[in-house]
C-alpha cells in the first residue's frame, strides 16, 4: 500500500485531533489533492509480453545438422592406372550390343506391329461381334446340311465313305466269281486291300454254301454275323475277320506284306474250320 493511501486512511483520525474545527476542511482538501496527484503521477504497470512463437515442424526439419567432426575427412581417390585397367576388363563392360535382325525377323516384326496397330484401332471394338455372327451363321449352315444328310468329307479333300456296315457286293455275285484267280492276281500286283476283300467274299460264299448264312446282296456284314451259331468259335472268328475287313476296305488302311500274311492266315483258318463243319441251314 502506498504512502498516500495510508494518509487517506489516517485523515479522519488526524482531523479529530485538530484543536480548531475550522482547520479540518482545509486539511481534508489537502489530503485529497495529495492522493489524486499520486495516482496521476504513478507509472503504469508494464504490459504482459506475448509468448515466444513455437517453431513449426518444417522449420526444425530443415535445419542443417551439425557436423560430426570439426575437420573435413580427406577424399580418397582410386589409382588412375588401376581404374584404367578395370575399365579395360570385359567383366566390367555392361554395354549390350543391339542384336542384328535378319530379313525374316524384320518381316515378322513388321507383321506383328501391323497386327498390334490394328488391334488398337476403334474398329477392333466390333471385331468380336462379327466373330459371334460368323460362328452363329456357320452353326446354322452345319445344322441345315446335317438335316439334309449332306456328306461334308469331300470338303477336306477326301471322298465320302460308305457306311462300314452297309457292305454291298456291287454288281458281283459271289457264286460267279473265280476267287482263286482273282486272289492270285491281287497278291501278285501287291493290291493287298483288294486281296482282303476277295478273301472275305470267298468266306461269305463258303458260309452260304455250308448253309450257315442266307447270302443276299443287300445284307450287311453284321447281319451275316447274327445268323451264325451263338455258341462255338465260328462266330468269334468271323467277328474278328469282319473287323479286319472293315478296317482295311472301308477304312482305307494300307497293309504291308507281313500284315496281309497275318490276315490271310486267319482267312485260311476259318475256311478250314468251315470245311470240317457239317452243313446246316441258317436259323
SS3 assignment for 73-136: CCCCCCCHHHHHHHHHCHHHCCCCCCCCCCHHHHHHHHHHHHHHHHHCCHHHHHHHHHHHHHHH
In 3D space, the residue among 275, 277, 264, 270 whose CA is nearest the CA of residue 199 turns out to be 264
Q: Would residue 190 be called left, alpha or beta, if left means φ above 0 and alpha means ψ between -120 and 50 degrees? A: left
For helices 192-209 and 179-188, give the axis angle rounded to 10 degrees.
160
166-207 confidence digits (pLDDT tens): 344 444 678 778 888 999 999 999 999 999 999 999 998 888
Q: What dihedral angle (degrees, nearest 10) is formed by the CA atoms of 15, 17, 23, 24?
A: 20
Domain ranges across the chain: 3-33, 179-276
- SS3 for 273? helix
DSSP 182-196: HHHHHHHTT-HHHHH
For residue 20, what is the DSSP state?
Answer: -
Q: What is the pLDDT of residue 195?
A: 92
pTM score: 0.41
pLDDT beyond 70 at 241: yes
- Per-residue pLDDT of 110-119, as tens digits, reads 888 887 777 6
Determine contact, residues 262/207, Cβ cutoff 8 Å: no
Amino acid at each position: 500500500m502506498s504512502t498516500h493511501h495510508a494518509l487517506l486512511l489516517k485523515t479522519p483520525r488526524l482531523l479529530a485531533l485538530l484543536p480548531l474545527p475550522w482547520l479540518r476542511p482545509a486539511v481534508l482538501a489537502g489530503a485529497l489533492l495529495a492522493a489524486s496527484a499520486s495516482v496521476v503521477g504513478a507509472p503504469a504497470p508494464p504490459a504482459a509480453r506475448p509468448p515466444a512463437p513455437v517453431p513449426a515442424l518444417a522449420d526444425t526439419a530443415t535445419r542443417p545438422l551439425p557436423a560430426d567432426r570439426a575437420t573435413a575427412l580427406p577424399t580418397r581417390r582410386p589409382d588412375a592406372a588401376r581404374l584404367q585397367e578395370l575399365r579395360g576388363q570385359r567383366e566390367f563392360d555392361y554395354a549390350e550390343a543391339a542384336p542384328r535382325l535378319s530379313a525374316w525377323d524384320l518381316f515378322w516384326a513388321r507383321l506383328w506391329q501391323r497386327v498390334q496397330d490394328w488391334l488398337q484401332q476403334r474398329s477392333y471394338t466390333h471385331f468380336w461381334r462379327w466373330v459371334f455372327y460368323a460362328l452363329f451363321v456357320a452353326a446354322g449352315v452345319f445344322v441345315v446340311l446335317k438335316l439334309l444328310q449332306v456328306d461334308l468329307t469331300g470338303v477336306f479333300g477326301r471322298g465320302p465313305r460308305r457306311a462300314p456296315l452297309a457292305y454291298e457286293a456291287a454288281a458281283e455275285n459271289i457264286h460267279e466269281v473265280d476267287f482263286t484267280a482273282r486272289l492270285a492276281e491281287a497278291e501278285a500286283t501287291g493290291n493287298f486291300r483288294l486281296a482282303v476283300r476277295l478273301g472275305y467274299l470267298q468266306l461269305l460264299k463258303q458260309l452260304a454254301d455250308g448253309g450257315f448264312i442266307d447270302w443276299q446282296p443287300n445284307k450287311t456284314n453284321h447281319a451275316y454275323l447274327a445268323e451264325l451259331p451263338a455258341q462255338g468259335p465260328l462266330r468269334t472268328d468271323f467277328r474278328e475277320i469282319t473287323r479286319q475287313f472293315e478296317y482295311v476296305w472301308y477304312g482305307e488302311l494300307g497293309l504291308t506284306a507281313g500284315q496281309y500274311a497275318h490276315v490271310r492266315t486267319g482267312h485260311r483258318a476259318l475256311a478250314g474250320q468251315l470245311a470240317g463243319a457239317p452243313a446246316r441251314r441258317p436259323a
